[in-house]
Structures are given as structure tokens and as C-alpha cells.
């Protein structure tokens, strides 16, 4: 779940690593390629809190984890990471507005036999090394088949270093 939350929130970074000398202008341009932000590959601390819409503490959950994002994980930018989290074939963005480091988006995911269509409103900040996103997801049904409101989720991610070397 932490990997999904980080990739959803999530978030957004720098272009894949290469052996070229660091050039701040080139790095910023690469991070903003295509009107999106790409996270810098590396080790991230991800915190997720989930609760019922309207602040009902009865549904609250919290997670804190670290995850290593590879250049392949971040290559498509934040938009692709959010879609991959839910499945590219089942979700689409109705809107995706990134202005500076501020993101406002609406993602709609198709319903299925046991789940109605859901809509996630996403707002917050994204940079190549951190994100802080608030998501409100609506469209869930309770066991009686009635609309049961939604959930609110806050996902924060912060790059804390390089990924550890693998032991292969």
C-alpha cells in the first residue's frame, strides 16, 4: 500500500540519472518536461493518513514507510504514476492542472461489478523531491448499495537519500 500511495501521490521528479555533470537549468527543464513533474529517483519517506470524508475519526488509518523509486518508476512523470496506481485502462484525468508546484486534478476510475465509478479530487504541492497531496475520493457504496460518502487521504513524500545498494 505504501508503494501505491507514494506512486499515487502522489507524486514527481527529476529525469532519470545519467553520467552527465549536474546542470541546474537542464535538471529543472527535464523535471518539468511535458507540463508535468518527475520525481528524482531515490529513497523516499512516505506518510499516508486515510479517514472518512468529513473528518470522521472512526475510519482513520495511518502509515509511514520508506520506498526506493528507480529511474523506471518515475520516467513517465507524476501523471503517469497516478494512473499506474489505479490502472491505466480503468482511470483517466478529467483535469490535471500543474501551475508552479501546485497541482489540482480530478481522476475518474471506471466502476465494475462490485465497485461503482469513483472520482478522486487531488490537490497539493509537488516538486522533484517532495509532494504533499490531499485526495478526496467519492463514489463508494455501502453494503446496502447506497452511496456511502467517500474517504479523505493525505499523502506526503520526501526524498531522504539514495537507494541502498542491492545485495546481488
Share of the chain above pLDDT 90, in %: 39
Instruction: Calculate Rg over the CA atoms of the chain.
Output: 17
pLDDT confidence bin for 71, thresholds 50/70/90: very high
pLDDT at 56 > cutoff 80:
no
pLDDT at 57 > cutoff 50:
yes
pLDDT tens digit string along 42-55?
Answer: 999 999 998 866 55
Residue appearing with cell numbers 461503482: 116
Strand pairing category for 118-126 and 56-69: unpaired
pLDDT confidence bin for 126, thresholds 50/70/90: very high
pLDDT at 72 > cutoff 50:
yes
- All cell numbers assigned to 26: 537542464
**H/E element, 107:** strand 102-109
pTM of the model: 0.70
Every domain of the chain and the residues it spans: 2-14+25-161
Edge-first strand order for the sheet with 150-161 is: 56-69, 42-52, 150-161, 130-138, 118-126, 102-109, 91-99
Span 74-98, average pLDDT: 85
Q: Give the whole-angstrom CA distance, residue 62 versus residue 60.
A: 7
Q: Is 8 helix (H, G, I), strand (E, B) or coil?
A: helix
Amino acid at each position: 500500500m505504501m508503494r501505491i500511495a507514494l506512486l499515487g501521490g502522489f507524486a514527481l521528479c527529476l529525469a532519470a540519472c545519467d553520467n552527465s555533470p549536474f546542470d541546474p537549468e537542464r535538471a529543472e527543464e527535464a523535471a518539468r518536461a511535458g507540463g508535468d513533474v518527475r520525481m528524482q529517483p531515490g529513497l523516499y519517506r512516505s506518510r499516508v493518513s486515510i479517514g472518512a470524508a468529513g473528518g470522521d475519526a472512526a475510519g482513520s488509518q495511518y502509515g509511514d514507510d520508506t520506498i526506493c523509486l528507480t529511474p523506471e518508476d518515475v520516467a513517465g512523470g507524476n501523471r503517469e504514476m497516478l494512473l499506474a496506481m489505479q490502472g491505466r485502462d480503468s482511470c483517466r484525468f478529467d483535469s490535471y492542472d500543474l501551475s508552479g508546484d501546485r497541482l489540482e486534478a480530478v481522476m475518474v476510475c471506471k466502476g465494475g461489478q462490485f465497485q461503482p465509478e469513483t472520482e478522486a479530487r487531488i490537490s497539493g504541492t509537488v516538486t522533484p523531491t517532495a509532494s504533499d497531496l490531499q485526495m478526496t475520493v467519492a463514489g463508494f457504496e455501502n453494503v446496502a448499495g447506497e452511496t456511502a460518502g467517500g474517504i479523505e487521504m493525505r499523502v506526503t513524500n520526501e526524498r531522504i537519500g539514495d537507494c541502498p545498494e542491492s545485495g546481488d
